[in-house]
């Protein structure tokens, strides 16, 4: 069997999406206008996006033993994500309540994850990682992600990321990967630079092949070599922004592995993320390749 194009290590989640008529504010009572249980998780959604675009992908993570976890795992397998290297813990799966503002699609995530769902470094499939074309990690289990990144680096495998919070372990992990993809607020928080370009330049380390930051409605910015590339967001009627960043990363990976140039990578990823914003949920927001090409 040929190696996988992408191996992903990190989070999966069973989400309860609650739609509300206005933004959540302190000391208010807001009625729920719609509620659905949906499936996602940042790495799981990125891998589903890669699979939708024709890549062969494997997910390495921990599931709970409850029926919701089994449903999520079946959904990933059905979307072409290999979960055979995952582990199962006798606890409730990672879950989240996602509150979505009906007016603009913005969301607030309230999450719960048992520490027994942490993936341990010794559970990593080292050979699988070393033979992949790319490794994708998040900052949920930083110690394990650092070990995986070290294996990939030794094998010459590029490592992309999904980082959305600043912690000391995340700072260490940032120094071990080759293509950091950061949430909008992170470059400024890490460097004190308000301008995304200056922040990325301040963050760059010798091992970083490219650095990228998603900018929400402003699109995305990438530092490749000494050149900064900016790509505006596509204008859509946003329904739910849940999973848009994860879809962006999956599209980024697919375009990069096709050998596209930085401007093309960003434009393709922005188009995929825009389509995701027009749909509810994370996994259910993943577009097809034809849909992205049509928007482009």
Predicted pLDDT of residue 254: 98
- Quickly count: other Cβ atoms within 10 Å of residue 228's Cβ: 16
Contact by Cβ (8 Å): 251, 273: yes
For helices 42-52 and 244-257, the axis angle rounded to 10 degrees is 40
Contact by Cβ (8 Å): 283, 79: yes
> 91 or 170: whose pLDDT is higher?
91
Q: Which pTM does this prediction carry? A: 0.92
> What is the per-residue burial (b if ≥16 Cβ within 10 Å, else e) of 230-253?
ebebbeeebbbbbbbbbbbbbbbb
Give the pLDDT confidence of 148-198 residue by residue, as tens digits.
Answer: 999 999 999 999 999 878 888 888 999 999 999 999 889 999 999 999 999
Predicted pLDDT of residue 212: 96
Contact by Cβ (8 Å): 127, 144: no
For the cut 80, the answer to whether the pLDDT of residue 25 exceeds it is: no
Tokens 């680096």 -> residue: 153
Predicted pLDDT of residue 2: 65
> What number does CATH give the domain 6-295?
3.40.1190.20
CA pair distance 207, 226, nearest whole angstrom: 14
Query: Integer distance in angstroms from the first to the last C-alpha of the chain?
Result: 34
Predicted pLDDT of residue 11: 95
For the cut 70, the answer to whether the pLDDT of residue 1 exceeds it is: no
Predicted pLDDT of residue 240: 80
The rounded mean pLDDT for the chain is 93
Give the pLDDT confidence of 210-265 residue by residue, as tens digits.
Answer: 999 999 899 999 999 999 999 999 999 888 888 899 999 999 999 999 999 999 99
Contact by Cβ (8 Å): 120, 147: no
For the cut 90, the answer to whether the pLDDT of residue 290 exceeds it is: yes
Domain positions in the chain are 6-295
Least confident of 29-33, 43-47, 263-267: 29-33
Tokens 């530092």 -> residue: 223
The edge-to-edge listing of strands for the beta sheet with 13-20 is 32-40, 13-20, 95-101, 107-112
Predicted pLDDT of residue 28: 83
Range list of β-strands (E), 66-158: 81-82, 87-88, 95-101, 107-112, 134-138
CA pair distance 10, 87, nearest whole angstrom: 12
For the cut 80, the answer to whether the pLDDT of residue 147 exceeds it is: yes
């Amino acid at each position: 069997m040929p190696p996988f194009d992408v191996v992903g290590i990190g989070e999966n989640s069973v989400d309860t999406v609650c739609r509300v008529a206005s933004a959540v504010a302190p000391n208010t009572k807001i009625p729920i206008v719609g509620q659905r249980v949906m499936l996602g998780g940042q790495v799981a959604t990125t891998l589903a996006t890669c699979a939708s675009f024709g890549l062969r992908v494997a997910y390495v993570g921990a599931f709970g033993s409850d029926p919701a976890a089994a449903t999520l795992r079946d959904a990933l397998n059905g979307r072409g994500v290999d979960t055979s290297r995952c582990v199962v813990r006798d606890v409730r799966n990672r879950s989240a309540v996602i509150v979505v503002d009906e007016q603009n699609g913005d969301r607030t995530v309230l999450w719960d994850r048992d520490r027994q769902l942490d993936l341990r470094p010794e559970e990593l499939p080292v050979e699988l990682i070393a033979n992949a074309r790319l490794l994708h990690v998040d900052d949920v289990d930083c110690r394990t992600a650092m070990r995986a990144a070290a294996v990939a680096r030794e094998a010459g495998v590029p490592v992309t990321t999904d980082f959305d919070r600043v912690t000391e372990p995340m700072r260490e992990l940032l120094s071990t990967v080759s293509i950091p993809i950061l949430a909008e607020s992170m470059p400024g928080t890490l460097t004190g630079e308000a301008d995304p370009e200056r922040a990325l330049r301040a963050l760059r380390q010798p091992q970083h092949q490219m650095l990228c930051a998603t900018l929400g409605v402003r699109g995305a910015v990438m530092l490749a070599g000494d050149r900064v590339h900016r790509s505006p967001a596509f204008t859509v009627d946003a329904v739910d922004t849940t999973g848009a960043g994860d879809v962006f990363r999956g599209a980024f990976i697919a375009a990069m592995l096709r050998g596209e140039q930085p401007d093309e990578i960003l434009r393709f990823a922005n188009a995929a993320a825009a389509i995701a914003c027009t749909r509810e949920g994370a996994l259910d927001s993943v577009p097809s390749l034809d849909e992205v090409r049509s928007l482009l």
